[in-house]
Amino acid sequence: MKLTYLPDVEPHPRRVAVGTFDGVHRGHREVIRGADAVITFEPHPQSVVAPGTQPRLLTSLARKAQLVEGLGVRELVVVPFDAAFAARDAQDFIDHVLVENVQAEHVSVGENFRFGHKAGGDAAMLAADTRFETRVVPLLEVDGEVVSSSHIRGLVAGGAVQYAGELLGEPFAVEGDVAHGDKRGRELGFPTANLVPAAGFVLPGHGVYACRVALPGGDVVAAATNVGVRPQFVTGRGELIEAYLIDWSGDLYGQPVRVDFLRRLRGERRFDSVEALVEQMGRDVDEARTLAAG
């Protein structure tokens, strides 16, 4: 898939889907269906129009590109969102981004899509423009609740990663390079691949999770993963993602991995002894192995 930044796009007609698309969840996927190009915004618009109030994100731009490509989209057009762009009115967005730059012949948006200075444009404004066709997609509901990025963020933060994955269309994932830890897991017989969470992204609530980890080269292995601060040992290192790769050994330091969260096994807690912790970790590994295999 081709990734281009506005205004450096090749001049040809496009069927486009427009939105922030954080998480590329099932509702987003319905908006994207049938598009050959997706237009998104970087950084998140709220970080520019209301600094300090922006949400913790579900996906990086790179992960968003991977997910969009998986839907068969041929091009991701990124609009650099800054104060100058935020000041442009809705008609300017239609005239210069959609018509002039992207040459949209068909535009797909969610029914709650707003754009332009002070969110002055909406789906009805797009539909009224005769220079392109407009498809307005109703909000998707699952079990009587609207599927939204904000709802999924809350689920992930609360540890409900299994349900979050159902709404996303695939497991919630965290990506990063494997970092050196304090080697405490190795001392306990459970060496871990450690990721330091990137700022600005949502994390699963503290606890132990059944996961799959995608390794460089394409292998995917089961893992029991702890997210939190390791209350059994005072280290002062802050939040960490520690994935014990089940039935696998090797050196991953400095290499990129993706951790797919399948289900929460338990909360993070302090045990009466290190021995009790090790026994529980053994049970966690057995459960994670079974869940990841399913």
What would the mean pLDDT of 243-266 be, rounded to a whole number?
95
pLDDT at 163: 98
Q: What is the mean pLDDT of residues 252-259?
A: 95
Phi, psi at 272, each rounded to 5°: -65, -25
Boundaries of CATH 3.40.50.620 in the chain?
2-146
Q: Return the higher-pLDDT residue of 191 and 171.
A: 171
Q: Evaluate if residue 182 carries a pLDDT over 90.
A: no
**Which pLDDT value is given to residue 276?**
86
What pTM did the predictor assign? 0.92
| Predicted pLDDT of residue 64 | 97
| Confidence band of 205 (pLDDT split at 50, 70, 90) | very high
When mean pLDDT is compared over 49-53, 122-126, 197-201, the highest value belongs to 122-126
Positions of CATH 2.40.30.30 in the chain: 172-293
- CA 172 to CA 1: how far, in whole Å? 22
pLDDT at 183: 56
Rounded Cα distance, 248 and 266, in Å: 23
State the pairing for strand pair 121-122/114-115: antiparallel
Which residues, at least 6 apart from 248, have a Cβ–Cβ distance to it below 8 Å? Answer: 221
According to the model, what pLDDT value does residue 187 have? 45
Over range 156-163, report the average pLDDT.
98
Helix intervals (H) in 42-170: 46-49, 61-69, 83-86, 90-92, 123-127, 149-157, 161-168
pLDDT tier at 27 (50, 70, 90 boundaries)?
very high
Q: What is the CATH number of domain 172-293?
A: 2.40.30.30
> What is the spatial distance between Cα 276 and Cα 205, in angstroms, rounded to a whole number?
22
- Of all residues in the chain, the percent with pLDDT exceeding 90 is 85
Q: If you average pLDDT over residues 170-174, what whole number do you get?
A: 97
- Does pLDDT of 38 surpass 90? yes
Please state which of the four CATH numbers 3.40.50.1450, 3.30.460.20, 3.40.30.10, 3.40.50.620 is assigned to the domain occupying 2-146. 3.40.50.620
Strands (E), the chain: 2-5, 14-18, 37-42, 75-80, 104-110, 114-115, 121-122, 133-137, 141-142, 145-146, 172-177, 193-195, 207-214, 220-228, 240-245, 256-267
What percent of the chain shows pLDDT beyond 70?
94
